[in-house]
Structure 1
Amino acid sequence: MLSHLCASVMKLQESQPAADAARLLADAAVRNQAYDAVVAQRPLITSERNQRTVANAGRMLARVFQAVAAKAEAIANAGGADAASVAPIVAPAWKAMADLLEPQLDERSDPRVVLFTADRLGDLGERARAARLYECYLRNLGADAACTRFANARAAVLDDLGSMVIQRPELAIVWKQVRAALEPAPDYERALQAMRGLSAKVAGIKTLMRADDHRVVAERLAVFQRTLESLAQGMRVKARLAGFYRDLGRTEDARALLSELTAYDPEDPRFMAQYVEGVIADWSAPWTVSAQVLEKARTIAITLRDRPQEDPTAAWTARIQVMELSIALNDLNPVNNILRRMRVAGDDLSHDLILERTGDDRRIRRAQDAHAQALAERFMRLYEHAGITERPPFRIERVEDLGTSWTLFVDAGSARAVARPGDGTGRRVFVPEGAPP
């Protein structure tokens, strides 16, 4: 009965035109009925045969919800008349798909399905379930024979492939680029780009080689390219999983992954910043963090701070991180000196991470976004530590005006901010209370 119900829902979905928003919405009740039936039956089934039946029905229905989510997403992104009506069903459809698949996935499952489902769960904020699937994916990757051989005998694998490729001068040049990206330390993404160029070269000389020779070269390079793709994907998964571990309170697991990621690519600012954030979070929790770990994190944060940054938010994050870690190490003189220079120069984030609004009093500035507000709060907490002798150059105020909430940076010593009409513009401006018109 359950299989027939899910099969009927699948046929109904397959009969829908791709851009038929009305049908997507009208058939929602039938889809949801089938979903409720599968979810309700799954924990009640004990026989192995019936468990397989429910699992197959769940996979069938998951494909339905995947197709529905993709169709609704396409309609919503197109921005036509139906966009607003279908947008609310996108996330629930992805969640239904993941709910149906996730319980039956493990390291023996198709890694593509595991990864796709984990990504969807992560996007939906389901970090614990996404983390479990990412762990399954990584265990599957660890058991992959080609990946294991490359990890354990990289030079031998490259020598073996190279001996075949360098016989053709036009291929040897590109092969050198592949190898340079993998030695002495691997950069899988860069190696993949070079491999794609090499594969294109091989395809271009097909008529110049014996058919059997060309087939062997093409097949072996294709296998190696898939290995590189898996390894590159593994690093992406580890980066996301580290963030989920942090959010789930699994700090040791997060730090271990971030150490691995920074060792893989010491110059990647994403990995560096995540590692530093993890150490600071552990110290703030407070967890026991050794001086050696704190010093390592501060060195990384200083490197990030001193790099040219196009993103002012990232630049201020690094500057604050350096001061937080100096406080953690009880190295307070540099922090006081930095804060003093900022005060004298009028160079703090309250003058940088702001919205430019004509008419506001110069002593009052609007935070550019929620991230700027969070960084400002973090910056202000620096002044709360014993031994910090400087005083905050501004304060944070939250003001409601005509139904809109604003976060404001107000200079220390200034009266509280109030809103009033701008001069003939119809725009609202912020000024200190009691300021002349």
Structure 2
Amino acid sequence: MRIVLGVGGGIAAYKVASLLRLFTEAGHNVTVIPTEASTRFVGTATWEALSGNPVSNSVFDDVHQVNHVRLGHEADLVVVAPATADLLAKAATGQAGDLLTNTLLMAHGPVLFAPAMHTEMWQHAATRANVDTLRTRGAAVLEPATGRLTGADSGPGRLPEPEVIFEAAMALVEGQADYQLPLAGRTVTISAGGTREPLDPVRFLGNRSSGKQGVALAVAARNAGATVRLLAAHMEVPPPAGVEVVAVETALQLREAALAAAADSDVVIMSAAVADFRPAAVSDTKIKKRDDSADPIITLVRNPDILHELVELRNAVGPAGRYQLIVGFAAETGDSQGDVLAYAEAKLERKGCDLLVVNHVGSDKVFGQDTNSVVILSRSGSEPQEASGTKTEVSTAIISRISFELNHVSPRA
């Protein structure tokens, strides 16, 4: 794939060298176009050495090749990182003062901007208007990361990590992310993995959840432009780059984290496998197995219904508050009293969430596997939606459905 990598004039330009390496190691042919200001941070020799291609930022170099037209026409993808406030403004207003802005005007394929700037610049009405303009025209503009900026300040404005930009770029080209990033500007909280309820210092009650589906959901939401917070219980897979991670172990810890995270979330997805019960008492020492002792009796008590509590909290805010979409997961098995969907529909009604993602679980299904098959039920009255395939594909379908509900379904009181 032919990629044009535009480099803006911000201190985060040094991180783009790692992004370039990711592109080239994946086998792509990359032409780097730095702005004049960016060469104050990283010189053209670095870009030539890492890309293996000549580097220029002038429309007057190699005029016979008409680079200001050719590069945009031939590119399968254009990525701009860091996309400074100045570059976003020039792109939004169609300026063509150098080779990069000319290339942006000539680009026929997808264009991805990865912003980096100070928080006040990112939040300024002019920048937000420019971002909206670019998205309306079909460009993808990532949300910047939140964290330490130049100097002592912190806030939204950090360049997303190179791995995040790379994955978003690949998803954009492969059609797994909308050019207009439907969750841009949204905050999504996702719980993942399985909770563990301690019996004593070495034993616990747990479940078979690997966290793979929750992590795939976090990646899909991130690729759709959301700011993602992952409430991570026990997982067999690492969390993805570019998301905030809050580690939890027990159902009570997850409840505390979920209620806190919901305060500023547009979407809450409770995909973790939460223990329904916990031991009434936890031994401070290991429970010993002695020949002269009777079998221990373990009394269990119910854990709180976190999903239902989140719905009640959301509904209590009322119409004056920001609309929040809540998604539950139901890992069900059928029995003589009813099938999986019957139990799931009853659960949707009981919990009061907006969407319920249902899967049929068993010793060889869902937990720990790389594939999944789900049915998405909605309180809006829509027909059940089926999704199957890899957990990445299923997550893409779920996030697309969430985006649709947010943008096209009227909020419920």
TM-score (norm 1): 0.26
**Greater RCO, 1 or 2 (C-alpha within 8 Å, sep 6+):** 2
Q: Which has the higher helix share?
A: 1
More strand as a share of residues: 2
